[in-house]
Structure 1
Amino acid sequence: MRYLPAIAVALLVGGTVLAGPAAAEPIPAPPLPDVSGEFPAPSGLLPGLQQLIDQVIPPPPIAPAPEPTGPARQVAPLPPSLAALRLATLPSAVGDPMFDLRPAGLDDLLEGQVIDVRDVRATAAPLMLLPIARALLVKYRTTDAHGGASYATATLIVPAADWPGPGPRPVVVNNLPIDALGRICTPGYTLAHGLHPDTSTTDFVPPTTHIAALRGYAVLIPDHEGPSMAYAEPIVAGHAVLDSIRAVRGLLPDEFGASRFGIVGYSGGAIATHGAVKLIASYAPELAQVVAGAALGGVPADYEILARSMNGNLASGVFMGAVLGIGRERPEILARMNNLAQWVATSPVKDMCGSSYGLAGVLMLPIDIAANYPDPLHSTLAMEIYRATRMEGVKSAAPLYIYNGEQEFWIPADGARNLYQEQCRLGVPAVYRSVLGEHIIAGALGYPEAMLWLDARLRGIPAADEC
């Protein structure tokens, strides 16, 4: 609780820059002002306050970033001060090389190529509450939001019972709503190290992993935010999900090389699912016949809608965390933070899980308060970034089941309905279900039918098209 006021300010970072490319190709980065540059006086929601903050509070002391080695990570080199700020906002190491260590020669590996494997059955089996034959933590090469080499981790759970159906055992790709800024918050860390105070309840509720394993399916759980913990960045997440499938197929080709994979995700997990299905055709076309379908609910598909529904209310803490998470991959966000926001973004806040920083919503502060230029949510740049993050006009390569709460006030159903209508226009077999309730109630009520739909896809039944 002692960090709440700081969290609220630091993560109110200028929603102008919820950035993301429309497809696999990165959009050009906008000009990046040096973080020490001056901006016009605010004229929006909080006139004068942004300037006052920077007049009263000096910038935090930040060590210079080391000279880059190897291929440039960004579309264009960052100004030195911004490169140093970005480095200072990245999550801290957790002391486990599977999560912390960037391998040498990463640029020479293929997407999805396995880097390391660890048997985690001893710690994962007690959490599964049913017999399992195997639990593997897999580290593999993936791609960041700008096309640069990165890495990610995912955990593969294989139940002890034989697969009762025909053909090879199918795999459920369970995109959990990680919604976190620290590496310790990932499901992979919990499955590898056991329960700890920051383990998220949503790792186990709803019990998708357990239900799928009871059905005989293998379960693949990606840590889809990547090593930068780029919460809510759909391109990073989509790449990590698709490359986790590639990694499992390459690691165990006799067992899963011909398996069907079905993807599921709710809320933050739907961000990863949305990114993955739209990136299959351009990033991993060989998986178009492998991914049998994707079910996604409580879908944050349109950040322009969220900028209206989650700003300045009880959801603002989550929205702020998402902005900072995206800023780790899209440093133009960081360039637009004022001094106080920089202090907090480089503080222990950067390692917090959603259950901690989400509490900042009780302050109900608008995101404008931490930007260093006026009216950030309505700038020209903001409009372009909202469009790009929607990945609009990109066709899913898999059938879709989309559901959303009709009374949802923080992630309104308009975004999910628009996604459904877009995919129908593009010729994707799709189903949409309007579910009674807000985010939590709708998640519970919509879950059973979504899982039944995914189960049918994994058993080889063609998807109905309700467009």
Structure 2
Amino acid sequence: MRFLRVFFLTMLLVIPLMGGRANAEPPPPAIPGLPALPDLSGLPPLPDASGAILPGLQQWIDAVIPAPPINAVPQVNSPTIEIAGITPELATLRSAVLPAPVRDPIFDAWPADLDGLEPGRLIEVRDVTATASALVLMPFDRAVLLKFRTTDAHGRPSYATATLVIPVGAWQGPGARPVLVNNLPIDGLGRECTPGYTMAHGWDSEISVTDYIPPTMQLALLRGYAVLVPDHEGPWMAYAEPVVAGHAVLDSIRAVRGLLPDDFGASRFGMVGYSGGAIATHGAVKVMPEYAPELIDVVAGAAFGGVPADYEILSRSMNANLASGVFMGAVLGIARERTEILGRMNNLAQWIATSPVKDLCASVFGAAGLLLLPIDIAANFPDPLNSDFAAQIYRVTKMEGMKSPVPLYIYNGEQEWWIPAEGARNLFREQCALGVSAVYRSVLGEHVIAAGLGFPEAMIWMDQRLQGVPAPNEC
């Protein structure tokens, strides 16, 4: 049903832009009470027969589609965020595109004293053992949902959640029980899309197959490792924003060490992630030296694949094709933290970004890719992906030149067409040049096939790091 709602909503908004009469016809009778359409005679024409986007399309869209009514979304105890240069209208739009509350304070409510808390400080703990089996799918001892202080993309206090799953039985290996940080590809715009919400509330239709396949959590628990699953998009569900995700991941490790210092204060932590989870893992290793230097000797390594490391590359590979729905959703997620993007949205984009689409998961809003639409139809200026404005977003999200302080295992499908291996190979070369111990594996297949074929060796590499085996260096 959600798919149908999104599909028909998109069609209703887009068909008026795409349509045109092959032969001239007399205009239909005027409908009493409706305003006349604006005079479009002075505007440039629609896209030509080749499908090329002409410079006036955005202006044409705004002339045809009126601006939506913008109503701020109430956020429980949310602080007033001061953003330099933001207009009152843009501030209201930002509030309107934020995710709706899910009526659970641990996910919705902003703590009143965040300014006085250190990053990683626990705010609330809830036992979710009874409901977590919806995602764990195997016996475990207990699961606890943690809410903790973190930091947004601009250094302001924020909060995040994560779930710690502890296996059955005592740890039989040397030292303290290792912890695998499983950064799942949340890829969602609504808080119900997070694994934390699922484990706190039980089975839900928003569960994604990528929460179970590959079976990272299950294999780690069988190995005797605890598993930490961060909700790394933060309270604003800033999908694809790597700085927010990196902060949330690192602060989830701090929270676990603070909650159970006797059990995990001396543990090795290892981070894994694929696709959207690789965004979080990549962000965490890049910001660690400055943001959480005390964790450098705690994190044994990071393994990630299907790596969206360079959004400039993705702007060429995911736009105007079947991946365009996911690409546009990621732009909205980033815009929740980087408000300047919202000021470049046209009326059509504002209608969609303030509609129920803003709370959907990628398994649903990704279906808009069936329309093969370019992101140009959502911008209020020509050629947005090749603009100086876009170049600035590419730069800050790429985090180029920032050295990982821990060993890396990077893999990517060689036949990838949406997340090309070029980005992962460039990241490997960059980290090698910076002196990081790193391994790169080119895996057969596109995104889905490579996820399966690349998983076993990545997990073997991570298992060795958690066992204390020194990391190989193939630079």
Q: What is the TM-score normalised by the length of structure 1?
A: 0.90
For residues 286 and 306 of structure 1, the distance between their equivalents in structure 2, rounded to whole angstroms, comes to: 33
In the other structure, the counterpart of 1:59 is 67
In the other structure, the counterpart of 2:208 is 200
| Residues 127 and 187 of structure 1, relative CA distance in 2, 3 Å threshold | closer
For residue 52 of structure 1, report the CA deviation from its aligned partner: 1.2
| Residues 179 and 64 of structure 1, relative CA distance in 2, 3 Å threshold | closer
Contact 1:64–1:80 (CA<8 Å) still a contact in 2?
Answer: no
In the other structure, the counterpart of 1:365 is 373
For residue 129 of structure 1, report the CA deviation from its aligned partner: 3.5
Report how many residues are paired. 437
| Residues 65 and 268 of structure 1, relative CA distance in 2, 3 Å threshold | closer
In the other structure, the counterpart of 1:98 is 106
Deviations 1:258-284 (A, max 9, x none): 100000000000000000001110000
| Residues 256 and 10 of structure 1, relative CA distance in 2, 3 Å threshold | farther
1:424 counterpart (422, 425, 432): 432
- Where do 4+ consecutive residues of structure 1 move more than 6 Å? 8-11, 40-44, 69-72
For residue 342 of structure 1, report the CA deviation from its aligned partner: 0.4
1:131 aligns with 2:134: no
**Structure 1 residues 297-376: aligned runs within 5 Å:** 297-376=305-384
Query: Which AA in structure 2 matches 1:454?
Result: M
For residues 348 and 314 of structure 1, the distance between their equivalents in structure 2, rounded to whole angstroms, comes to: 21
Q: Gapped runs of 5+ residues in structure 2? A: 15-42
For residue 63 of structure 1, report the CA deviation from its aligned partner: 3.3
For residues 9 and 402 of structure 2, the distance between their equivalents in structure 1, rounded to whole angstroms, comes to: 38
Which fold has the larger relative contact order, with Cα–Cα distance below 8 Å and residues 6 or more apart in sequence?
Answer: 1
Contact 1:46–1:368 (CA<8 Å) still a contact in 2?
Answer: no
1:3 counterpart (3, 6, 9): 6
| Residues 435 and 245 of structure 1, relative CA distance in 2, 3 Å threshold | same
In the other structure, the counterpart of 1:45 is 53
Query: Which AA in structure 2 matches 1:322?
Result: A
For residues 227 and 114 of structure 2, the distance between their equivalents in structure 1, rounded to whole angstroms, comes to: 26
Contact 2:134–2:199 (CA<8 Å) still a contact in 1?
Answer: no
For residues 324 and 72 of structure 2, the distance between their equivalents in structure 1, rounded to whole angstroms, comes to: 31
For residue 132 of structure 1, report the CA deviation from its aligned partner: 1.6
Contact 2:288–2:405 (CA<8 Å) still a contact in 1?
Answer: yes
Deviations 1:141-168 (A, max 9, x none): 0000110010000000000122121000
Helix, strand or coil at the partner of 1:457: helix
1:228 counterpart (226, 233, 236): 236
For residue 76 of structure 1, report the CA deviation from its aligned partner: 1.4
Contact 2:125–2:146 (CA<8 Å) still a contact in 1?
Answer: yes
For residues 237 and 9 of structure 1, the distance between their equivalents in structure 2, rounded to whole angstroms, comes to: 34
Query: Which AA in structure 2 matches 1:457?
Result: R
| Residues 127 and 338 of structure 1, relative CA distance in 2, 3 Å threshold | closer
Q: Which has the larger radius of gyration?
A: 2
RMSD: 2.0
For residue 438 of structure 1, report the CA deviation from its aligned partner: 0.2
For residue 382 of structure 1, report the CA deviation from its aligned partner: 1.5
1:121 counterpart (108, 125, 129): 129
1:454 counterpart (434, 437, 462): 462
Contact 2:150–2:247 (CA<8 Å) still a contact in 1?
Answer: yes
Deviations 1:410-467 (A, max 9, x none): 0000000000000000000000000000000011000000000000000000000000
In the other structure, the counterpart of 1:21 is none
For residues 418 and 345 of structure 2, the distance between their equivalents in structure 1, rounded to whole angstroms, comes to: 24
For residues 78 and 163 of structure 2, the distance between their equivalents in structure 1, rounded to whole angstroms, comes to: 29
- Deviates most, 457-466 or 52-61: 52-61
For residues 54 and 429 of structure 1, the distance between their equivalents in structure 2, rounded to whole angstroms, comes to: 51
For residue 171 of structure 1, report the CA deviation from its aligned partner: 0.2
Contact 1:405–1:442 (CA<8 Å) still a contact in 2?
Answer: yes
For residues 291 and 417 of structure 2, the distance between their equivalents in structure 1, rounded to whole angstroms, comes to: 34
1:441 aligns with 2:460: no
For residue 48 of structure 1, report the CA deviation from its aligned partner: 2.2
Q: Gapped runs of 5+ residues in structure 1? A: 12-39
1:466 aligns with 2:469: no
**Structure 1 residues 28-43: aligned runs within 5 Å:** none
Contact 2:135–2:198 (CA<8 Å) still a contact in 1?
Answer: no
Helix, strand or coil at the partner of 1:275: helix
For residues 255 and 335 of structure 2, the distance between their equivalents in structure 1, rounded to whole angstroms, comes to: 27
For residue 370 of structure 1, report the CA deviation from its aligned partner: 1.0
Deviations 1:360-392 (A, max 9, x none): 000000001110011101111222321221100
Contact 2:413–2:442 (CA<8 Å) still a contact in 1?
Answer: yes
In the other structure, the counterpart of 2:159 is 151
For residues 270 and 63 of structure 1, the distance between their equivalents in structure 2, rounded to whole angstroms, comes to: 34
